[in-house]
A and B are shown apart, each in its own frame.
Chain A
Amino acid sequence: MADDAIITSTNQLLPDEISVVIDGAMLVAPDDANDKWYYKLTSITTTSADLIAGSFIDYTAVTAASAPSAIDTADKVKFLFVKNESTADGIYLVLDGGTASNSVADGIFIGAGQTFVGRFPNTTVGNLHAIASDIADVGDANVTAIVAALIDDVA
């Protein structure tokens, strides 16, 4: 399909004596013209805030004078890619609109230099929050992350 997100992975798991490598995959195809791509090299601060904001990358032709479509906080995150480019600090994400922190019970942690992908078909842009943080302590500094997402433009 056109404009897909395509993830392939190798996953080394279990103790060394019985360590196994399992192949993994994820393919997310846009359902229709309302599923649109987003990209931003993002500065994530030590204060919880929306991870995604700004405009879509149009892949249907628009005139040069046309402004790109703006993302709404009600739009939904069908696919998310985050690569943490920091060498020292991590990132916590939450999906439910709560405050992202190092102690939040349902936080997803992305360590320094690490990459995360996921599908959150019901999570709105307004509910996806991020904070720069260590795994068990507050963050020391802002983190730069590559953020790409396939978003359902519902609003």
Chain B
Amino acid sequence: MADDAIVSLSAQVLPDEIAKTIAGSTSITPASGDRWYYKLTSVTNTSADLIDDSHKFIEYDATADDAGLTVNSADKIKLIFIKNTDATNDVYLVADGGTASTSATDAIKVAAGHSWFGSLPNTTVANLHAVSSTGTLACVVAALLEDVA
């Protein structure tokens, strides 16, 4: 389908003696009103929104110059992809609007040099928070958002 997010992965799991590589995938086809977002994002050591709600979507319907739509804090995250480009420091995410921290009980860890994707169809832009373990680092952030607001 057009404009899909397609993740293909290979996962080696289990102890070495019985290690198994399993192939998997996730694909999401945009529904009407779903729009792409991209930003090379600085993640700081203070918990904050991962997705910028003042940023414009990447339009894939033809629009007039300067007529693009802006992300809203109430828009929902059908797919999030994040690649931590830092060589040393980690990123922690929370999806419930709480404070992101290295000790948050529901934190998702994206370690240095690692990437992560997930489908969070009920999570709003305002509720996805991120923090670095130390300092400020750069992350590739792409998302397919449901433009509900």
Q: Is A136 an interface residue (CB 8 A)?
A: yes
Q: When the two chains form their complex, are residues B115 and A104 in contact, meaning their CB atoms are under 8 A apart?
A: no
A124 to B107, CA, bound (A): 11
Contact A22 B123 (CB under 8 A): no
Known: A5-B11, A13-B81, A15-B58. A116 touches B107 (CB 8 A): no
Among residues of A, the one whose C-beta sits closest to the C-beta of B7 is A11
A120 contacts B36, C-beta separation under 8 Å:
no
Closest to A113 in B: B25
- Bound Cα distance from A37 to B19, whole angstroms: 11
Find residues 54-73 in chain B having any chain A CB closer than 8 Å to their own CB.
58, 60
CA of A106 to CA of B116 in the docked complex: distance in angstroms?
A: 16
Residue-wise, chain B 1-35 has the 8 Å CB interface mask toward A (1 for contact) of: 01111111111111111110010111110000000
Chain A residues with CB under 8 A of B104: 122
List which B87-117 residues lie within 8 A (CB) of chain A: 94-97, 103-111, 113-117
CB within 8 A of A22: which of B60, B81, B96, B106? B81
Report the interface size class on chain A: 35 or more
**In the complex, per-residue mask of A110-153: 1 if CB is within 8 Å of any chain B CB, else 0:** 11011111111111100100000001100000000010100000
- Given contact pairs A16-B60, A105-B123, A83 touches B24 in the complex (Cβ within 8 A): yes
Binds B, one of A24-32, A45-53, A64-72: A24-32
Residues from chain A with a CB closer than 8 A to the CB of B3 are 14-16, 19
Interface SS majority for chain B: strand
Task: Return chain A residues, CB-CB under 8 Å to B135.
Answer: none
Question: How far is A19 from B3 in the complex, measured between Cα atoms in Å?
Answer: 8
A122–B14 contact, CB under 8 A? Answer: no
B interface bracket (residues with beta carbon within 8 Å of A): 35 or more
* Neighbouring B residues of A97 by C-beta, 8 Å: 105
The answer to the question of B119 belonging to the interface, with a C-beta cut-off of 8 Å to chain A, is yes
Q: Smallest Cβ distance from A67 to chain B, in angstroms?
A: 18
Docked pose: A13 CA to B143 CA in angstroms: 8
Interface residues of B (CB under 8 A from A): 2-19, 22, 24-28, 36, 38, 58, 60, 81, 83, 94-97, 103-111, 113-124, 127, 140, 142
Task: List the 9 closest A-B pairs by CB distance, nearest first.
Answer: A115-B24, A24-B115, A15-B60, A59-B15, A9-B9, A106-B96, A95-B106, A106-B95, A96-B106
